Amino acid sequence: MAFYGQRTMVQQPSVSSWGKPATATSNTVTVDYLVVAGGGGGGGNYYAGSGGGGGLRSTVTATGGGGTLETSLSLLLNTNYLVSVGAGGAGATGTAQPGVNGSNSIFANIVSIGGGAGKSANTAVAAGTGGSGAGGGAGGATNTAAGAGTANQGYAGGTGSGNGADFASGGGGGAGGVGGNASGTTGGAGGAGVAVSITGSSVTYGGGAGGQTYYGTRGAAGSGGGGQGAKGETNVVAIAGTANTGGGGGGGSHDSTPLGAAGGSGVVILRYADTLTITIGAGLTGTESSASGGYKRATITAGTGNVSWA
Domain boundaries, the chain: 31-276+301-310
Angle at 87 between CA 86 and CA 93, to 5 degrees: 145
Q: Over pLDDT 90: what percentage of the chain?
A: 73
More confident site: 266 or 1: 266
More confident site: 245 or 235: 245
Mean pLDDT of 148-158: 97
pLDDT above 80: residue 259? yes
More confident site: 145 or 194: 194
Q: Which of 81-85, 91-95, 266-270, 286-290 has the lowest mean pLDDT?
A: 91-95
Mean pLDDT of 279-308: 98
More confident site: 89 or 215: 89
The secondary structure of residue 254, as a DSSP letter, is T
Mean pLDDT of 18-35: 70
Q: Hey, what amino acid is at 20?
A: K
Number of neighbouring beta carbons within 10 Å of residue 93: 13
State the average pLDDT for the chain. Answer: 88
Contact 216, 203 (CB under 8 A): no
pLDDT band at 255 (very low <50, low <70, confident <90, very high): low
pLDDT above 50: residue 40? yes
Separation in Å, CA 246 to CA 86, 130, 233, 253, 302:
8, 12, 29, 22, 12
Q: Give 11's contacts (C-beta < 8 A, 6+ positions apart).
A: none
Show the DSSP H helices in 192-274 as ranges: none
Q: Coil, helix or strand for 66?
A: helix
Highest mean pLDDT among 104-108, 211-215, 250-254: 104-108
pLDDT above 80: residue 165? no
Highest mean pLDDT among 4-18, 108-122, 242-256, 284-298: 284-298
Q: What's the confidence (pLDDT) of residue 257?
A: 63
The rounded distance, in Å, linking the Cα atoms of 29 and 84 is 20
The rounded distance, in Å, linking the Cα atoms of 225 and 247 is 4
Separation in Å, CA 215 to CA 3, 138, 143, 166, 228:
94, 12, 20, 7, 15
The residues with which 110 forms a beta bridge, in sequence order, are 107
The model carries a pTM of: 0.90
Mean pLDDT of 5-11: 35
